[in-house]
Amino acid sequence: MWDIFYRYNISKKVAVVFLILLSMMGIGGMVGLYNARQITRITTGLYKDFFLRQETLSSIEKEMLTARQELYIYVIVSDAASKEYLERSLTEHNEKIKGLLQEHLKLERRGDNEAELYASFKNSWSQYLSATKEAITLSHKGNSDKAISLLRGDGATRFKSAMDALQALLAEERGSAFSEYKKTGEFSTIITWMTISLTILAIIVSIRLWSILTKSIVKPLEALEESAKRIADGNLKERAYILSKDEIGDLAAEFNEMAGHIENSYATLEKKVEERTETLRIANEELFRKKQEMELLNEELVKANKMKSQFLANISHELRTPLNSVMGFSELLLEKSFGELNEKQAQYVNYIHTSGEHLLHLINNILDLSKIEAGKLELNIEEFQLADSISEVLASTRPLAHKKGVVIDCKTTPISPIIKMDRPKFKQIMLNLLSNAVKFNKDGGRVAIDWNIKEEPKGTVIEKVFCVSVKDTGIGIRNEDIPRIFKEFEQLDPSITREYGGTGLGLALTKKLIELHNGRIAVESEYGEGATFSFTIPQGTDGHRIAAIDAKEIASTAFLQQNLEMLPPTILVASETEGLNELIRVYLTQNGYNVELASDGVEVIEKAASIKPFAIILGIALHRKDGWEVLKELKASHETSDIPAIIVSSADNKELGFSLGAVDYMVKPVNKEKLLYALGRLSFTSKVKRHPFSILAIDDEPQVLELLADILEREGFGVLKAANGKDGIRLALERDPDLIILDLMMPRVSGFDVVEQLKKHPTAKDIPIIIFTAKDITKEDKTKLGDNIANILKKASFSRNNLLNEIKKLEMAYPSKARMIDPLTRVFNYKYFSYWIVQEFARGKRYGLPFSMLMIDIDNLQDYNTRNGFLLGNELLIGLSGILEDNVRQADCLIRYGGDEFIIILPNIVKEAAAAVAEKLRMRVENHMFPASDAKKNGRVTVSIGIAAFPVDGKESEELLANLNKAAKSAFQSGGNKVVTFRDGM
């Protein structure tokens, strides 16, 4: 068993243990079932064989005694009526006794003497009955005294003999019952011991299995941990002993390989250091002698500096890339993307993810400090809205604050100032200060963020200064310790470090980042009461700008992203005659359509399912299966229900055709212009099917590609993967993806080369690109990459949500490619609405801004389609969307919510103003002449409109939408063509 567990992988080990335990449970269940069946059998036997038999004999005894008493009374009384009644009663008693004896005979006999005792009783009872008959005869003759004498004499003797035989029979039954009862007790004892034995055996086996399983997993992990500690202590020759052949064994093998690489790298590096030291020593000696050699040495130093920069870039990539994979895959495991984790697995994966975050943060700080000291850290000064950046920082720190019960208060205003800084560095500064404020705070404490734009004199001009303060109610800092907190790796108290953690780099890096912006940082603190960190950043002498919160951030060019390549549509034709088939084929081919012919109804169904035509022209009088049956089957099938069908027939039965799902109905003779016009309208209104939003990921790290694919495919994106720059260029040109995620640091063909090649292509140059790299991007890098870079994501700070948020921003900017445009009405669809409503609620909650929503439902659209066909119904939807779009503001958002429902979001509009807008829209629709509508009241197209507003009718999206739907439903149910505002109690 031990060898088996070391040979199998972990999943098989768990499976073996599970199957053994399951088998034991099955055996226990079968034993329990067998015991239950035996107990049931014995109980049933006791009831049927003994209880019923004894009850029958007792009933016979009772009937005998009653009959004897009534016989005495019969002999004594002289009244004829009484004698007649008693005679009938005696007869009934005798019949009952006879019937009970018959029932007793039917029951299975158990005792050895039962037959003999039964015969004795029957004989005695027969003799007694003879005596009773004689006594009754004497009584009839008037000899009552003689009859009584007979009953007391010979009759009593015979009755006693019968009763004795009956009692003997009862005693025999009781003896048999007692014997069976003793057997039941013995069987119960056996069952008890059997159950105890099986339970003990199951416990022993379970404990043993669990011991073997844990040893096969925990022991190798402990060995691996011990080897890691020895390597960390400097023993680079240490290797982990591979105890098992499962995943842990594979991990140990990879660990040993990594340890070998580290040992080789260390030896090589040590050798290089020695060589460089010797070179420098020789150079220093020669420096005083020859000027020319000094100049050569300077050139070598320049080269060495370049190598240092390259080393920083390489080490950044080599450290961050594997850490990025570790954190990304552990995040997927924590989200249970591949199934449930048990408690231990979840705990260990969480340890991996948390440790990875800590290590990544430490690496980033060290590398940033190194770059600052080397003068290699460049700032990318840009203008951005303060509110957006602070909200992103708060989103990162509030989970930690929530765990400690710390409340974070932040200054908010309806308008956001625009500041000039390196935005990522500003977020890093705020994140460091906020993290410290939360980490060193008391449980239930508070953190306050305040900011302001001040004016300070600078020479003869006034300079704008951006000021931020972060105040906490934590443990505070002693005055003598304040100068030390900004030093690298400086920690004030080891006990505080053990309790709160940290490396002493955060504040040092924060100070240097602020100073790079020509700013200053200061701290005020009272020990035990809290601390206030504040910093200032100069903003120049230009006028200070602010940005109002715009309710609509989508580019007006969103509707221009229409780049669908349409092939000539195929029309399946199956009319009632071959001549008409040929005529229609000529009509269509002359106008650019591909035509496929079908000879009968069965072939129509088969070809429709196989070739998926753009439309079907269908006759009624078809062979093998008529047109009505064909149309029913086409609309009933999931594969063909979306294919439009146009009926061409000599019979005029439009209502039936439309009710079965036809989009148009033509009566012979066929008019060419009318047929082509119908197909033209169909081409305009039919639903355009697109592939999912496609993303090309280009990275030389297989783990990164796998991680990106797992994240994106689970969100419904189509993912193409390229393991090098050359394949990435080829796929970009061949497949024309909607987005490219690109790593820059790749061998041979780098990410810069990929961008350069794509710029030269007429269509690929417009594909948006997200840079996803561990490299620190310089100004030269950004210039080289050009303007088509949508965003830059650093592997150092990568998370699943960051990636998806960036892609969602691109989807909002390219709604057509992202399938956010309804193909019929060309307005936004439900997918766009699901993104928009989240943003609108976030704005409303952040800035306290109201907004209203209108739900517009067409009254009786189904009846309209039945009368006029689906093509005219589609034109009605197109016309209605045009009316709605023409009568709302540019800041408003029009959505086709689904079917015949539209939603309009009105930012910064309260409910009363929204009601006026809704009434205007209702009247515009009522007064508009849609296709096939007339001036009669019941012929007009009307709408029902419901209104709900944030926050009065709902503070969450689900609540607001539910109330909006109630209002729209109320408008329709009250007769339609109405505007209803939601109210409480509706």
Which has more pLDDT, 89 or 869? 89
CB 698 within 8 A of CB 729: no
Region 390-412: mean pLDDT is: 83
Which has more pLDDT, 906 or 347? 906
Helix H or strand E encompassing 178: helix 156-232
pLDDT at 514: 93
Tell me, what DSSP letter sits at residue 46?
Answer: I
User: CA separation (Å) from 11 to 14, 247, 350, 851?
Assistant: 5, 9, 20, 53
Strands (E), 700-754: 718-722, 739-742
Q: In this structure, how many other beta carbons lie within 10 angstroms of the beta carbon of residue 44?
A: 10
**435-464: per-residue pLDDT in tens?**
889 988 888 889 999 998 888 777 667 788
**Paired sense of beta strands 407-410 and 645-649, if any:** unpaired
The residue assigned the tokens 């306290």 is 848
**46-81: per-residue pLDDT in tens?**
666 667 777 887 888 888 888 888 888 888 887 778
- Least confidently predicted of 336-350, 474-488, 808-822, 912-926: 808-822
Can you tell me the distance from the alpha carbon of 663 to that of 894, in angstroms, rounded to the nearest whole number? 27
Q: Is the pLDDT of residue 914 over 60?
A: yes
**Paired sense of beta strands 381-385 and 415-422, if any:** antiparallel
Q: Is the pLDDT of residue 157 over 80?
A: yes
Q: Is the pLDDT of residue 313 over 70?
A: no
| Model confidence band, residue 312 (pLDDT cutoffs 50, 70, 90) | low
CB 468 within 8 A of CB 430: yes
Can you tell me the distance from the alpha carbon of 428 to that of 509, in angstroms, rounded to the nearest whole number? 9
Angle between helices 751-759 and 725-735 (to 10 degrees): 30
- Least confidently predicted of 125-134, 216-225, 750-759, 809-818: 809-818
DSSP state letters, 225-248: HHHHHHHHTT-TT-------SSHH
pLDDT at 793: 67
Q: Is the pLDDT of residue 858 over 80?
A: yes
Can you tell me the distance from the alpha carbon of 162 to that of 144, in angstroms, rounded to the nearest whole number? 24
Q: For the domain 378-548, what is the CATH code?
A: 3.30.565.10
| Mean pLDDT over each residue of the chain, to the nearest integer | 80
Omega of the bond prior to 569 within 30 degrees of 0, cis?
no
**671-685: per-residue pLDDT in tens?**
777 777 677 666 544
| Model confidence band, residue 498 (pLDDT cutoffs 50, 70, 90) | very low
pLDDT at 114: 72
Domain boundaries in the chain?
Answer: 4-217, 378-548, 570-685, 819-986
Q: Is the pLDDT of residue 478 over 90?
A: no
pLDDT at 310: 65
Can you tell me the distance from the alpha carbon of 170 to that of 149, in angstroms, rounded to the nearest whole number? 30
Q: Is the pLDDT of residue 551 over 50?
A: no
CB 266 within 8 A of CB 236: yes
DSSP helix/strand/coil, 595: strand
Q: Can you give the C-alpha Rg of the chain in angstroms?
A: 47
Residue 139's nearest CA partner among 93, 85, 87, 95 is: 87
pLDDT at 559: 30
CATH 3.40.50.970 fits 4-217, yes or no: no
CB 699 within 8 A of CB 320: no
Helix H or strand E encompassing 540: strand 530-540
User: Cα 380 from chain centroid?
Assistant: 38
pLDDT at 891: 84
Can you tell me the distance from the alpha carbon of 202 to that of 197, in angstroms, rounded to the nearest whole number? 9
Amino acid at 428: Q
CATH 3.30.70.270 fits 819-986, yes or no: yes
**419-436: per-residue pLDDT in tens?**
899 888 898 899 889 988
Residue 183's nearest CA partner among 38, 287, 48, 323 is: 38
Residue 711's nearest CA partner among 773, 805, 802, 800 is: 800
Q: Is the pLDDT of residue 131 over 50?
A: yes
Q: Is the pLDDT of residue 854 over 90?
A: yes
Residue 682's nearest CA partner among 834, 871, 849 is: 871
| Model confidence band, residue 728 (pLDDT cutoffs 50, 70, 90) | very high
pLDDT at 562: 33
Region 561-586: mean pLDDT is: 71
What is the per-residue burial (b if ≥16 Cβ within 10 Å, else e) of 518-533?
Answer: ebebebebeeeebbbb
Q: Is the pLDDT of residue 781 over 80?
A: no
The residue assigned the tokens 């009710």 is 659
Q: In this structure, how many other beta carbons lie within 10 angstroms of the beta carbon of residue 493?
A: 12
Helix H or strand E encompassing 335: none
- Least confidently predicted of 13-22, 69-78, 178-187, 523-532: 178-187
Helix H or strand E encompassing 548: strand 546-548
Longest dimension (CA), the chain: 171
Region 691-714: mean pLDDT is: 83
Q: Is the pLDDT of residue 550 over 80?
A: no
Region 102-122: mean pLDDT is: 71
pLDDT at 50: 67
- List beta partners, residue 409: 448
Percent of the chain residues past pLDDT 70, beyond the cut: 84
Percent of the chain residues past pLDDT 90, beyond the cut: 16
CB 772 within 8 A of CB 741: yes
pLDDT at 600: 92
**283-306: per-residue pLDDT in tens?**
777 777 777 777 777 777 777 766
> Helical H runs in 526-671?
578-589, 601-611, 627-636, 654-659
Can you tell me the distance from the alpha carbon of 191 to that of 196, in angstroms, rounded to the nearest whole number? 9
Asked, colleague to colleague, whether 4-217 and 819-986 share their fold, the answer is no
Mention the CATH class of domain 570-685: alpha beta
Cα-Cα-Cα-Cα dihedral sign, residues 930, 932, 936, 938: negative
| Model confidence band, residue 597 (pLDDT cutoffs 50, 70, 90) | very high
Which has more pLDDT, 974 or 804? 974
Angle between helices 114-140 and 156-232 (to 10 degrees): 140
Region 721-747: mean pLDDT is: 89
